[in-house]
């Protein structure tokens, strides 16, 4: 190889290197590597719990309408009403049962005179608040069926409609028709 040819190759290589460097500088190094985002950790204590409104009466310190979180239990409602009074019979209410917006809860008193029975304004038994003993006043409901109703409600949450009673073993269309007028609407 002669000297002119070597100089030409060196110049060509130099121009190519300069062109590549210029292109890199002009267009950048390609897409910038974005560091992965840190995973978002949600603290369950900070998640918003939308409020619901519940009416509580009977043997509580401040009966009336209270506001609690949507995940509240009857115990939370009783606490929001100032707690149970001295005469409250807490064995007559399932404190662990979940509550729903607009529900009416009655905390019975120890006297058991029926004044604080879980009934609605229409006079029917509130199937979402009644104890097994309270349910026995319904036509065709004895101790066994009343216990099944309470057990079903405890396992599945409050009844959304009276027709949900058809899911309780031992209640069919005829039995429900016989007690329908004595049940307050959930």
CA atoms within 13 A on the CB side of 27: 7
Whole-number pLDDT of residue 38: 61
Whole-number pLDDT of residue 21: 67
Instruction: Name the residue among 71, 124, 123 with its Cα closest to residue 98.
Output: 71
How much is the CA Rg of the chain, to the nearest whole Å?
A: 36
Give the pair of three-digit tokens for residue 31: 């897409």
Contacts of 178 (CB under 8 A, 6+ apart): 139, 140
CB contact at 8 A, 56 and 73:
no
Q: Where are the domains of the chain?
A: 1-33, 45-182
User: What's the whole-number average pLDDT of the chain?
Assistant: 79
Structure confidence by residue, pLDDT tens digits, 97-116: 899 888 888 888 876 544 44
Locus of tokens 């058991």: 112
What are 88's strand-pairing partners? 109
**pLDDT above 90 as % of the chain:** 22
Q: Which residue has the higher pLDDT, 28 or 170?
A: 170
Give the pair of three-digit tokens for residue 181: 């007028």
Instruction: Tell me: pLDDT of 167 over 90.
Output: yes
Whole-number pLDDT of residue 145: 93
What are 60's strand-pairing partners? 84
Whole-number pLDDT of residue 46: 57
Average pLDDT for 66-91: 90
Between β-strands 51-58 and 104-107, what pairing exists: parallel, antiparallel or unpaired? parallel
Considering the domain 45-182 in this protein, what is its CATH number? 1.10.150.280
pTM for the predicted model, two decimal places: 0.40
Give the pair of three-digit tokens for residue 30: 């390609």
pLDDT band at 44 (very low <50, low <70, confident <90, very high): low
Whole-number pLDDT of residue 37: 58
Distance CA(161)–CA(128), nearest Å, equals: 10
């Amino acid at each position: 190889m002669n000297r002119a040819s070597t100089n030409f190759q060196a110049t060509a290589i130099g121009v190519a290197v300069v062109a590549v460097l210029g292109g890199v500088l002009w267009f950048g190094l390609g897409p910038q590597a974005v560091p992965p985002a840190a995973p978002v950790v949600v603290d369950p204590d900070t998640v918003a719990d939308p409020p619901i409104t519940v009416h509580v009466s009977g043997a509580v310190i401040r009966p009336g309408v209270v506001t609690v979180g949507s995940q509240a239990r009857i115990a939370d409602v009783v606490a929001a009403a100032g707690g149970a009074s001295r005469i409250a019979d807490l064995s007559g209410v399932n404190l662990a049962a979940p509550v729903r917006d607009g529900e009416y809860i009655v905390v019975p008193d120890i006297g058991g005179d029926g004044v604080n029975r879980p009934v609605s304004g229409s006079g029917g038994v509130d199937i979402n608040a009644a104890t097994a003993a309270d349910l026995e006043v319904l036509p065709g409901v004895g101790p066994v069926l009343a216990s099944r109703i309470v057990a079903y409600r405890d396992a599945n949450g409050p009844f959304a409609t009276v027709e949900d009673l058809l899911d309780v073993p031992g209640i069919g269309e005829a039995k429900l028709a016989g007690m329908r007028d004595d049940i307050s609407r959930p």
